[in-house]
Structure 1
Amino acid sequence: MVLFTSNPDIYKNAYPNWQKTFRNYNDFFDLYSEHFKEAADKLIDSIEANRGHIADNIINPALFLYRHSVELSLKAILHRIYLTSGLDDNKIKDKLEGHGLDSLWAKVNNEIRSKYNFGADQNEKDELRTIGGLIIELHNTDDSSMTFRYPFDKRLDEFTYGDGKESFGIDFIHFKEQLDYLHTRLRYWIYYKVSGEWSNE
């Protein structure tokens, strides 16, 4: 028995490489961010009326996918900036190391303000503050990309949400909407602008 095989019916295959053929190497972080975000959206959309507590079974995978999409978005922005700055691959790899959203956002925020004039007016400052607030909230819930993937940390201490009580709930529709906003601004405002693809027209 094998896990990976091809089906003669092309509609029963996934083709993970084809999208890369018409994307620049520099866009692969962004491409993967899109993949994880779309997968999370489809999980949340599948909940529908939440009969049988479906949401309880898929919330951890969905939250992980959303968190990873944000991490990839931040790394996509930094990767573009560092390439444009002429850093070599080893330095770029060192700067992209780690999963902490707080440190990744701090790097992004510093780079885009100093090199791309983000935050030039009060509206942009307010929006960057909003974006940063959402990222830090997500980081504070999962600071190592472990909380949504494992029941325990490396010391086998239990990960908990909120107050840890059974009655603690997560409004998954609200969460999805906030991630939509965050993803849109990271990708279509910040990433596109540092990539030279952004226009304010």
Structure 2
Amino acid sequence: MRKNNTFRGCEPFWANACVGENGMPDYYEYAKGFSEASNILIEAALSNSGCDHAVDIMIYPICFNMRHSVELRLKGAVVILSKLATSRQQLPEFNLEGSHDIGKIWDYLSRELNSFDARIDFFTDRLDPFIRDFADIDPTGQTFRYPYSNENIKHLTDIPTINVGVLQRVFAALELLLDYFKNFLLELNEEYALKTHTKRISRHQILKIASETPALQEWRAPAFSKFKDRIKATYNIGSKELAEVLNIVKGLYTNRFSPFAPPKLKFLTKDKIEELFKAWIFINQPEEKALKAPRASLVISDSDSMREQLAIVIEKDRRRQSIWDDLAASFSKDELADLTALYEAGNSNYAEHYPFYVEYYQAEFKDGNYRCYGGANEALVRLIKKPNTLQCMIKALFLTGQYSLADSLAEKYSHVGNLDWLQMAREGQLFIEPCETIKTNCAMRFKELVESFDS
């Protein structure tokens, strides 16, 4: 095979770009490269009032890179949509690799996305006018690539000028929307992986239905039949799918939305959680008198003081080892899986992660097969050494609807760390759906950007 002396690695090391299987670049990485190149060219063209780089020449690579970036981003969105669709519906066939027509790609993508989940309207409505502009002027990527079409017709004869300053502002807004759009689709993929949805009803809609569902004791009343009829009409579903929805509502690990009490913790009790909490406090927050006072008064020539200090250290180590041994003996593998799951769920906004993690760590700890930690003792060591263990577990208890237990522990152990989020958790405002957060942040940033252009 011929050696390529142009496209190869070399010194300096930092200048070697990772490509192919080295770094696993996908549509988005390619798209970001083209958009960044376009932005750099825009800055160059606008610098020194266009005297350094003529806009008449720079306009072509600027627009080509912009347009190609948009095409790649849309194709990346189609790939994410195809993954999403496996959980709900079969997609119509689309020749992703063979199509370069932005208009056709966008028509397919926006149509299928909007029928998949109504929340995506937020993005498709805002993106549509931007993408239509690109589709109108350069549908297949040839307008800014060559001066003439395949039919020998000159490009851009109906547009005498293109302002690079306008391009800069428009592309900044478009890039922002496309970045949030990608993040939203990826988060949507995470959400659907939780399987808290039916064929037609999303998790977001199920949470809304849960907030409207009457209490169980009212289900035999005539009003409940009217409620079911309204839900079926609103969401265009039948009785079978409504039964699926209500079954999911019953099992929701939260009481913020649901009329039902959330399921209890899988294996843990308050006493077992406090057992871990007390051990954590002993290891991480030693008493001042036991450690600092003797050290402050220690005199090297004072053998009695040195012996006293050494005795304190030895006793401390003995108690620490005793705690490890007692905890390892005290917790069953199922309780250990529950503890670990609570800690992990404390970093999540999805209550469904808690039962998932419990099952996952049960498998990890089954029959001594400790693939992650090497043993029960190591798993406990990890929990006790983490500086945020107590905060994460209390947060997870709020997340999973264990409000009474969470409140009790938060009150008792409020001194061990920063719980400045506690009031929001008590009011049910701490755990916002990630997809909603992305939409809100996008709307705010987009508004700020547009206003900055007008000022």
Please report the TM-score for the alignment, with normalisation by the length of structure 1: 0.78
Q: Distance in 1 between matches of 2:105 and 2:94?
A: 13
With over 3 angstroms needed to count, the CA separation of the structure-2 counterparts of 1:19 and 1:170, relative to structure 1, is farther
Matched ranges for 1:157-196 at <5 A: 157-163=153-159, 168-188=160-180, 190-196=181-187
The aligned residue for residue 19 of structure 2 is 17
The aligned residue for residue 7 of structure 1 is 10
Q: CA deviation at 1:186?
A: 2.0
Deviations 1:112-155 (A, max 9, x none): 211122366xxx3xx63342112111111111110100011112
* Of 407, 429, 436, the match for 1:200: 436
Larger RCO (CA within 8 A; separation ≥ 6): 1
Q: Distance in 2 between matches of 1:69 and 1:155?
A: 26
Matched, 1:97 2:92: no
* Of 136, 140, 145, the match for 1:144: 140
Q: CA deviation at 1:93?
A: 6.8
Gaps of 5+ in 1: none
The aligned residue for residue 117 of structure 1 is 118
Matched, 1:42 2:40: yes
Deviations 1:8-38 (A, max 9, x none): 2224x341428963x6x7xx11111111111
Gaps of 5+ in 2: 189-433, 438-455
Q: CA deviation at 1:160?
A: 2.1
Runs of 4+ in 1 over 6 A off after TM superposition: none
Q: Tell me the number of residue pairs that the alignment of Structure 1 and Structure 2 aligns.
A: 183
With over 3 angstroms needed to count, the CA separation of the structure-2 counterparts of 1:97 and 1:103, relative to structure 1, is same
The aligned residue for residue 77 of structure 1 is 77
| 2:148 match: secondary structure | coil
Q: Distance in 2 between matches of 1:75 and 1:150?
A: 23
Deviations 1:136-181 (A, max 9, x none): 1111111111010001111222112434xxxx22111211221121
Please report the TM-score for the alignment, with normalisation by the length of structure 2: 0.37
With over 3 angstroms needed to count, the CA separation of the structure-2 counterparts of 1:14 and 1:56, relative to structure 1, is farther
Q: Distance in 2 between matches of 1:172 and 1:115?
A: 37
With over 3 angstroms needed to count, the CA separation of the structure-2 counterparts of 1:176 and 1:161, relative to structure 1, is farther
- Percent sequence identity over aligned pairs: 19
Q: CA deviation at 1:95?
A: 4.1
The aligned residue for residue 308 of structure 2 is none
Out of 39-48 and 109-118, give the one that drifted further.
109-118
